[in-house]
Amino acid sequence: MAVKFQFNKTSLNELNKQLKIRQRALPTLKNKESALRMEVKRAKDRMQELEDQLTNRIKDYEYMVSLWGEFERDLIRIDDVKLGTIKIAGVKIPVLEEVIFGVKDYSIFARPYWYADGVKILKELAEIGIERDFYHEKMRLLDHARKKTTQKVNLYEKVQIPGYENAIRKIKRFLEDEENLSKSAMKIVKKRYENAEVES
């Protein structure tokens, strides 16, 4: 990105102001980037933990596979998933607060004795799966924000700050050269004036 400027003091002051803004913002952006990077890793680790937990729980109940054929498919459903939001390093993230299940009425005398345990098992597995999905979404949102922050850090650090510094240097050199030329011209005029006085 080429910095647009004019060779005058107004432009110099404006560029200095823009440079200071970016130099002050850069450490904050770097801190935000590292905080987001850490949160992405935390979310990824938690998601993997939940994935492993879900896999292990399913393995724990493999001995019941033949029984699940007797289970009514519409006995349990998810009625609602209550969400909240939190801000992590300025990024709004959904948070799972509660999963509300609906259980169809059934006769505990007409159904097998393990039905109550089956309902409890399904609720547990569903909660783990939903929480895992939330951590996946959290990780995705945080990673997107981290990438945007990294881009901004790189833009400031590698493009804009050096661009402003270069433009400021050019303006200062130009103004110094202009001042030197002006002084030289004044000396020449003064010398001519003195020579003209001496001759008259």
Nearest Cα neighbor of 43 from 7, 88, 106, 102 is: 88
Residue 108, classed as helix, strand or coil, is: coil
Residue 192 has pLDDT above 90, yes or no: no
Report pLDDT digits (tens) over 20-61.
999 999 999 999 999 999 999 999 999 999 999 999 998 988
- Rounded to an integer, the average pLDDT of 62-72 is 75
- Contact indicator for 76, 123 with CB cutoff of 8 Å: yes
Name which of 6-20, 38-52, 83-97, 101-115 the model is least confident about: 101-115
Nearest Cα neighbor of 118 from 128, 108, 133 is: 108
Q: How far apart are CA 149 and CA 145, in angstroms?
A: 6
Residue 91, classed as helix, strand or coil, is: strand
Quickly state the pLDDT bin for 200 (edges 50, 70, 90).
low
- Contact indicator for 142, 46 with CB cutoff of 8 Å: no
**Rounded to a whole number, what is the largest CA-CA distance in the chain?**
133
Quickly state the pLDDT bin for 194 (edges 50, 70, 90).
confident
Place of tokens 């879900």: 54
Quickly state the pLDDT bin for 1 (edges 50, 70, 90).
low
Residue 199 has pLDDT above 90, yes or no: no
Report pLDDT digits (tens) over 131-151.
999 999 999 999 999 999 999
Q: How far apart are CA 130 and CA 42, in angstroms?
A: 17
Report pLDDT digits (tens) over 166-178.
999 999 999 999 9
* 161-164-170-171 Cα dihedral, nearest 10 degrees: -140
Residue 111, classed as helix, strand or coil, is: coil
Residue 65 has pLDDT above 80, yes or no: no
Residue 69 has pLDDT above 80, yes or no: no
Structure token pair of residue 98: 């509660």
Tell me whether residue 146 is exposed, middle or buried, using C-beta atoms within 10 angstroms of its C-beta: 0 to 12, 13 to 18, 19 or more: buried
The pLDDT score that the predictor gives to residue 21 is 95
The pLDDT score that the predictor gives to residue 10 is 92
- Contact indicator for 88, 137 with CB cutoff of 8 Å: no
- What residue ranges define each of the domains in the chain, with the CATH number in brackets? 9-192 (1.10.287.3240)
The pLDDT score that the predictor gives to residue 143 is 95
Letter for the amino acid at 19?
L
